[in-house]
Structure 1
Amino acid sequence: MFNAHLVPYVDRLSHGFWRNPEADLSRSVPQFRTAIRTEGSESSVRLHFVHSLSSRANSAPLLMIPPFPFTNLSLTHLTDHFTNPGDGERDDIAFHLVIPSLPGLGFSDAINSSKHMIPLVAEMFDKLMKRLGYDHYLVTTAAPSPNAFTDIDSRLIKYIAVSFPDSCLGAHMISPPFSQPKLRFAPLAWLKWKMASTLQRPCLGYSQHDIAIIRRHKARRRLQHKQIPLLPGINTVGDKAFEPNTLSYALCDSPVGLLLFFVMVLRLLESKHEFSNQEMIHMTELTWLPGPEGTIRMWANCSSMTEQVPKPSHKPRIGVTTFAKAAAQEDQDRSQGISPTASSDAHTCLAWGYVSYDVLSSQVVPGPPGLLAWERPGVIAAGVRKLAKAVISIDGRLQKEEETGTTLLEQVRVEGNRLAPAEVSGTTIQGGVSPIPAPADAPKSSQTTDVTESDASRQNRPSTPMPPKPSQVGESSQSAPLDDGSGDDGGQSSNQGSPSTIKPFKGSPP
């Protein structure tokens, strides 16, 4: 039965499916790469990102963090929700949307460092926004976090909001895990919580739902601590079978194994969305082509390390989206033998959030969250707009008119198996110029990106023997030279839309 479920995916994967989606992504998605060096990183890291500008005046910059382990190219269906609200939403705020891929995922380079990943990635994303000319911006996640799979999303947005309050003017959090107030740090908030939980009645900012849910979840968490983890021993010495390198090599050698990995992830995230065969293969290819090593290593690093979040000078501004899963649905799950996972078990207590954050907006959405970016993307957009309106009402910097800036980026296309310069201008102009390809009759800039092949090229992994056309899944290719970090950390550039294709390649192993 399980094999029968996989047959359509495997057939589509093995019959050269990838070329059409690859061409579509290259043609329609404004995607770029730029090299960024942080104070804590040992070398420059090239970030791949989608940059969609809105045609509306006074649009606000928005940084979107993809839900791990998905790449930014898996979220391109979200752009219109943020950049171009419908005719019935003319008064809604539009956004200039930036969606980077996490380092090591998709076409972003992996971080070759054993340091804490979360602080490094947070600094890279902040530098990326500033390089694009956005001195002030909002940030949002695209899925509830933590969930049954990881808490990378929630930790990353929290670190950005706390560490860069001068540039990040607001963070939209989806089901954030606020901590219970402690006597040492917030004695008044701690006293209110103790009184409300002792009285077992709504008071002092707590609802009856807060009290009942939190107590029930405490009992569930005690039970979950006794259960066997999904990947016991990952990144530990005691169990070599689940070290990140071991798992990476296994997935690297088997696209079907990586496909099963994503099937497992979707089930853990309680997805109700019916993904087509094309969507599943698309998702798998975007991880398999550049290699799953970076994905697994980042997962292992973040699972084994806890970053020290700096103490902010003032409370970060946030907006919160929470979900009210009906009790009847929980009872139905139990009757069907469905165990509560971290995502269904999550509850955000706003009274706790006020202790550490300046909560400017909130919305409670009925039903379980599920895989929000695919099932209910409008919920994310509504939460972000609510936060944006609250921020703009007290801080005019978010929509401040800036002088046109120039950003150096990299954009390439593929000729056969070799990279060549894209036939576009050598800079990306921020402010008034759309990254969408210009009409055919539009005047072309005389300035072009000169990409040579003088440096030593890198090779992709050999193609996996999958009949009938293994070469269409993983061809080897030569890479164009990029900034090695010795000089300015800006990469090569372009200003007219997406490349004909971004040819993934694997760098030297750490």
Structure 2
Amino acid sequence: MSTAITPFPIHISQASLDGLQERLDRIRWPDPGTVQDGSQGPRHERIEALVAAWRGEYDWRRTEAMLNAWGSSRTIVDGLGIQFLHIRSPEAGAAPLLLTHGWPGSILEFRDVIGPLSDPRRHGGAPSDAFHLVIPSLPGFGFSDKPAEPGWGVGRTARAFAELMQRLGYGAGWFAQGGDWGAAITTALAHMRAPGLAGIHLNMVMFSATEEEIGNATPAERRMLDDAERYNREFSGYMKLQCTRPQSLAFALADSPVGLASWIYALFQDVTDSSGHPESVIALDHLIDDIMLYWLPNAGPSSARFYWEAAQEMAKGMPSSPIALPAGISMFPGEQVRLSRRWAEKRFEDLRFFEEADRGGHFAAMENPSVFAAHVRSAFRTMRGQPAV
């Protein structure tokens, strides 16, 4: 099978865009519900406003051109087509950096940090902090292929992305960063000691506190535990459904753009640092762009199945030993699953960087891109020049 890297210009047919418009013109709305807050899910008026913008001033062609300008490419790894952005820095000493998104995010999570990370000289930074960026769409997400067989979970995706970095010529001294599923994949890369990987940075750490940690929690750590419990109790219904019966949801996500949009919007509402108003921290057009990367390639169903795949992996047992590679961690206050530095030090043997941001939540690169970029630069500054595995 070919290992070639090929350009993958995105061009959605006008018929597809017209078909979406027709669906948005004949929505059957639900009733508003019985509460006036977001405790039952997205509020009616919020989705109405989103759809009004979607039908009106939103311009997909602008986003399409932006993605193509960032070097949209494709290659086949382990039998599956992976679409990715490849942005090479103008700086000769730039280090390769793999940025991995999660759900319901996309490669556009990183849109506002692409410039600062790849060309810091133009964005008030030091040229020595520059990165060549590789930003792939997860299997079944965006314009990557949809797996036709089970098995494409965290581990297999991590191996595919490690192969992608090798295939791009980044054989040594590359770094990886992620949040959400991107954090799980980045952590898996570190556990498997992917060839050439020199260090990682996470803006979310998937972990469970031990009984000892719970019993000895400081007041700040107790707030972290309370937030994690609230997430599990109030916000995690989407995860439980997608881990167990994703195909029950698939038909609605494939058939209804408004159903897809509200399903995605719900998590932006619940886990951004926005008091339930994600539009206050993320531009509405950016939210719609994200939804479009699920609607246009019909990736709502296949992306939901990633949770089912990961649940099968977790049932068999995932690596849990401390990570030996150099690591950096950023904690954003609106992230529901957080850990303290002392908890992190037990799980990362070589923790080079640990910082807490002043604002931002689960979608850190979208909510607070300047601090996200600064943390990534600072974290990997401590690792540059380290020998690769």
In the superposition, the TM-score normalised over structure 2's length comes to 0.75
Specify which of 319, 326, 347 is matched with residue 317 of structure 1.
326
Quickly say closer, same or farther: Cα 1:165–1:233, change in 2 above 3 A.
closer
Deviation of residue 62 (structure 1)? 0.1
Deviation of residue 384 (structure 1)? 2.2
Name the structure 2 match of 1:72: 107
Specify which of 310, 326, 337 is matched with residue 302 of structure 1.
310
Task: Assess if the C-alpha contact under 8 Å between 2:321 and 2:347 holds in 1.
Answer: no
Pair 1:293-2:301 in alignment:
yes
**Distance across 2 between alignment mates of 1:122 and 1:232:** 21
Quickly say closer, same or farther: Cα 1:383–1:254, change in 2 above 3 A.
same
Pair 1:380-2:372 in alignment:
yes
**Distance across 2 between alignment mates of 1:28 and 1:225:** 40
Task: Assess if the C-alpha contact under 8 Å between 1:315 and 1:358 holds in 2.
Answer: yes
- State percent identity of aligned pairs: 22
Name the structure 2 match of 1:245: 247
- Normalized per residue, the structure richer in helix is 2
Name the structure 1 match of 2:6: none
Q: What whole-Å deviation, never above 9, does each CA across 1:146-175 have from its counterpart, x for those lacking one? A: xxxxxx233221111111254211010114
Once the two structures are overlaid, the 10-residue window that deviates more, 268-277 or 163-172, is 268-277
Name the structure 2 match of 1:254: 256
Letter matched to residue 83 of structure 2? H
Specify which of 70, 77, 83 is matched with residue 48 of structure 1.
83
Quickly say closer, same or farther: Cα 1:15–1:128, change in 2 above 3 A.
same
**Distance across 2 between alignment mates of 1:345 and 1:391:** 26
**Distance across 1 between alignment mates of 2:362 and 2:232:** 23
Q: Give the root-mean-square deviation of aligned CA atoms.
A: 3.3
Name the structure 1 match of 2:37: none
Specify which of 214, 233, 237 is matched with residue 230 of structure 1.
237
Name the structure 2 match of 1:138: 175
Letter matched to residue 72 of structure 1? I
Letter matched to residue 260 of structure 2? L
SS at the partner of 1:109? Answer: coil
Specify which of 102, 121, 142 is matched with residue 106 of structure 1.
142
Q: What is the correspondence of 1:3-22 to structure 2 with a 5 Å cutoff? A: 3-14=44-55, 17-22=58-63
Q: What whole-Å deviation, never above 9, does each CA across 1:20-74 have from its counterpart, x for those lacking one? A: 225523552211010001xxxxxx1000000000011210000001132222145
Q: What is the correspondence of 1:18-417 to structure 2 with a 5 Å cutoff? A: 18-25=59-66, 27-37=68-78, 44-86=79-121, 88-115=124-151, 117-136=153-172, 137-141=174-178, 143=179, 145=180, 152-178=181-207, 180=209, 197=216, 211-218=218-225, 230-231=237-238, 234=241, 243-272=245-274, 273-274=279-280, 275-291=282-298, 292-303=300-311, 305-306=313-314, 308-310=317-319, 315-323=324-332, 325=333, 343-344=335-336, 346-369=338-361, 371-395=363-387
Quickly say closer, same or farther: Cα 1:364–1:92, change in 2 above 3 A.
farther
**Distance across 1 between alignment mates of 2:337 and 2:322:** 32
Quickly say closer, same or farther: Cα 1:7–1:163, change in 2 above 3 A.
same
Letter matched to residue 374 of structure 2? A
Task: Assess if the C-alpha contact under 8 Å between 1:116 and 1:305 holds in 2.
Answer: no
Letter matched to residue 213 of structure 1? A
Deviation of residue 10 (structure 1)? 2.7
Quickly say closer, same or farther: Cα 1:220–1:279, change in 2 above 3 A.
closer
In the superposition, the TM-score normalised over structure 1's length comes to 0.59
Provide the aligned length of Structure 1 versus Structure 2.
339
**Distance across 2 between alignment mates of 1:233 and 1:364:** 29
Deviation of residue 104 (structure 1)? 0.4
Deviation of residue 252 (structure 1)? 1.1
Name the structure 2 match of 1:460: none
Deviation of residue 93 (structure 1)? 1.1
Deviation of residue 371 (structure 1)? 3.0
Letter matched to residue 197 of structure 2? C
Q: Which runs of no fewer than 5 residues in structure 1 stay unpaired? A: 38-43, 146-151, 183-189, 198-209, 238-242, 326-340, 399-510
SS at the partner of 2:202? Answer: strand
**Distance across 2 between alignment mates of 1:166 and 1:112:** 28
SS at the partner of 1:112? Answer: coil
Quickly say closer, same or farther: Cα 1:31–1:232, change in 2 above 3 A.
closer
Q: What whole-Å deviation, never above 9, does each CA across 1:245-300 have from its counterpart, x for those lacking one? A: 22111121111111112221210222535344433332222111111121111133
Task: Assess if the C-alpha contact under 8 Å between 1:63 and 1:140 holds in 2.
Answer: yes
